[in-house]
Amino acid sequence: MAAEAKYSIVREVGRGSYGVVYEAVANQTRSKVAVKRMHCNVPENVELALQEFWALQNVQKRHENVIQLEECVLQSGQVFQPISRHYRKSDHHLLLIETCLKGRRCMDPRAACFLWFVMEFCDGGNMNEYLLSRGPDAQLNNSFMQQLSGAVAFLHRNQIVHRDLKSDNILISHSPGGPVVKVADFGLSKVCQGKVNVNQHRFSSACGSNFYMAPEVWEGHYTAKADIFALGIIFWAMVERITFRDGDTQKELLGTYICQGKELIPVGEALLENPSMKLQIPLKNKKSIPDDLCRLLHDMLAFNPKERLDAFQLEVRIRRISYGKKRQRSGS
């Protein structure tokens, strides 16, 4: 990439329909970075790439639990152009936006087009792999729940709704104080313009991953509270180690569901079919979840989004739960 003078690719660490992620080294500082290359060959890919760029650019302050974008470079053929809110939009950048708006490719079809995202490198993989490679740990779960609640509250304060929260889209970075979670993969996110209340701003395009989607997302009319439902699914699965196999990749994934015969039904879909259904929390072991955490999960997974916690209420409530906290020895 243009940034070849700045970065050296070390190895490929991930690949999907969106593109490829590499581990790289910043040549000047020798620090590790992650480089995501997104192929902008069709309008759908362009929209995913630009939505990720817009979301990460909208975060003007750093948050420890949100992945940090270092820079973004647009490649068109052999031409490389850094893009950010501080640069004047180049012709290639404007054509990329036009492609997204018109739903057809507006760039030169003969020139390869990519967006390169340079981000902080997370050495612990994703949260799904991290947790499933270890035994259950209530204190670790509590730490992850607090970190994720803070991250989502931060995003919502910045008018960003993620819309695809799941354990695969949460990365882990090791630190002296313990593992740090990083919310990543903002390709389906939306930035609400102006100082709007994200809990009242309505979206109409259903998106996300089935097992984490709130009932109202299945209907196509939802707000930022859909992110809280997804977090509820993640927290519940994390605490009880509930998993399912992805039909496409056969990977074991953390996620809760409703059993109907031999079929696994996403919780949101099941609630949409039967809004009065009482969720069985805990699912496996009655002693695995204390009452205050049970109530919290029920409040995160409420069928009616008006009765569901918002991110700011969750951030406060999560600090009060007894689950996973170190027991203090009483003085003699």
Whether the Cβ atoms of residue 301 and residue 309 lie closer than 8 Å to each other: no
Give the pair of three-digit tokens for residue 244.
């399912």
Is residue 328 scored above 60 in pLDDT? no
pLDDT at 4: 54
Residue 245, SS3?
A: strand
- Residues 70-109 have pLDDT tens digits of 999 888 888 888 887 665 566 667 777 777 777 777 667 7
Neighbours of 135 (CB within 10 A): 7
Q: What is the mean pLDDT of the chain?
A: 89
Residues of the chain with pLDDT > 70, as a percent, come to 92
Q: What kind and span of H or E run contains 24?
A: strand 19-26
Catalytic residue (one of 108, 123, 164, 299): 164
What domains are defined for the chain?
Answer: 2-120 (3.30.200.20), 127-317 (1.10.510.10)
* Amino acid (one-letter) located at 279: L
- Residues 287-319 have pLDDT tens digits of 778 999 999 999 999 999 999 999 999 999 999
pLDDT at 329: 44
Give the pair of three-digit tokens for residue 51.
């939505």
**Residue 225 counted as an annotated binding residue:** no
Residues with Cβ within 8 Å of 124's Cβ and at least 6 positions away in sequence, in order, are 130, 171, 172, 173, 174, 179
Intra-chain end-to-end CA distance of the chain, in Å: 65
Q: pTM here? A: 0.90
* Amino acid (one-letter) located at 161: V
Neighbours of 111 (CB within 10 A): 12
- Residues 221-274 have pLDDT tens digits of 999 999 999 999 999 999 999 999 988 888 999 999 999 988 999 999 999 999
For residue 33, what are the β-bridge partners? Answer: 24, 120
Contacts by residues 21-25 (CB-CB < 8 Å, ≥ 24 positions apart):
23/121, 24/118, 24/121
CA angle 51, 55, 58 (to 5 degrees): 140
Compare 108 and 184 and report the one with higher pLDDT.
184
185 is catalytic: no
Q: State the Rg of the chain over Cα.
A: 21
What is the rounded CA–CA span in Å between residue 171 and residue 67? 8
